[in-house]
């Protein structure tokens, strides 16, 4: 899997990917589907175009076909933390380690760029998803953000108690990250080639 900057030509594929990952018909729904909390599209062409204009979106393309699978949006905050959103894996690809691998690669790239925190918000009611982030080093900051009930572009809420909680992951300092890379490189020389999962490389993320 190779991560690239998303281009304008990716927009239709990104809209389809994000909407299918977040909210799909029941038969196709992924394990974190928001069905029950929200309905309608999660995003649209204009929202993705705006997101691309303001900050970066990363996509991976499969070896065959052109539609991006998966994607993530990364915005550099004034505090120099990376604010993540629109992390999406196509429903039929979920539960195979794709989302976790993408997140770890983003964390590595952020750390190498001197970024100290990854930040994301999640719907408080999405307990499995929050547990997934916690298992990947994220912790609640204790802050909550009002759900944007007045923004129809994120879909139609089906309950009136939706709330977003802020999660953060502290990253190792740049020197610790490069020390770990050196240890890993030495271990690979010593142990021989890594197995398939370890050897998967996500490339193409540049500086923020
Ligand atoms: C959240 C998301 C990106 C995760 O990607 P993924 O590729 O499915 O995740 P992975 O395969 O890397 O991780 C799967 C883990 O979830 C667990 N999992 C799988 N199905 C599960 C289920 N039904 N309930 C709870 N946990 C489940 C697996 O046990 C696995 O855990 P492990 O790594 O400890 O074994 C993806 O599900 C998605 O696109 N969701 C819709 C969009 C979304 O909610 N984005 C985040 C918004 S904040």
CA of 186 to the centre of ligand 1 (A): 32
Of 24-33, 81-90, 177-186, 193-202, least confident by mean pLDDT is: 193-202
Identify whether the C-beta of residue 81 lies closer than 8 Å to the C-beta of residue 117. Answer: yes
* DSSP class of 142: E
Q: Which of 20, 94, 134, when mutated, tests ligand 1's pocket best, judged by the most ligand atoms within 8 Å of its CB?
A: 94
CA distance 52 to 4: 13
Q: Which domains does the chain have, with CATH numbers?
A: 3-199 (3.40.630.30)
- For residue 57, name the pLDDT band (cuts at 50, 70, 90): confident
pLDDT of res. 141: 98
Check pLDDT > 50 for residue 176.
yes
CA of 31 to the centre of ligand 1 (A): 7
What is the number of other CB atoms lying within 10 angstroms of the CB of residue 187? 11
CA distance 127 to 133: 10
For residues 98 and 3, which has the higher predicted lDDT (pLDDT)? 98
**What does each C-alpha distance from 191 to 7, 11, 187 come to in angstroms?**
39, 42, 6
Q: What are phi and psi of 59, to 5 degrees?
A: -135, 155
- Give yes or no for residue 146 CB within 6 A of ligand 1: no
**What does each C-alpha distance from 167 to 102, 133, 174, 201 come to in angstroms?**
17, 8, 21, 26
Average pLDDT value for the chain: 83
Check pLDDT > 90 for residue 44.
yes
Ligand 1 atom closest to the CA of 100, numbered from 1: 12
Check pLDDT > 50 for residue 208.
no
pTM: 0.84
């Amino acid at each position: 899997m190779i991560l690239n900057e998303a281009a304008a030509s990716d927009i239709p594929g990104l809209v389809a990917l994000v909407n299918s990952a977040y909210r799909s018909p029941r038969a196709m729904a992924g394990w974190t589907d928001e069905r029950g909390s929200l309905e309608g599209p999660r995003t649209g062409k204009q929202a993705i175009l705006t997101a691309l204009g303001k900050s970066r979106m990363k996509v991976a393309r499969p070896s065959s076909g052109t539609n991006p699978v998966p994607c993530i949006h990364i915005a550099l905050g004034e505090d120099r933390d990376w604010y993540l959103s629109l992390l999406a894996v196509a429903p039929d690809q979920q539960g195979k380690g794709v989302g976790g691998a993408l997140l770890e690669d983003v964390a590595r790239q952020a750390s190498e760029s001197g970024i100290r925190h990854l930040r994301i918000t999640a719907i408080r009611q999405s307990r499995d998803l929050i547990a997934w982030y916690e298992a990947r080093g994220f912790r609640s900051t204790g802050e909550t953000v009002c759900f944007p009930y007045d923004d129809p572009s994120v879909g139609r809420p089906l309950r009136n108690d939706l709330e977003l909680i802020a999660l953060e992951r502290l990253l190792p300092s740049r020197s610790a990250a490069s020390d770990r890379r050196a240890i890993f490189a030495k271990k690979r020389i010593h142990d021989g080639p890594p197995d398939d999962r370890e050897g998967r490389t996500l490339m193409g993320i540049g500086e923020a």
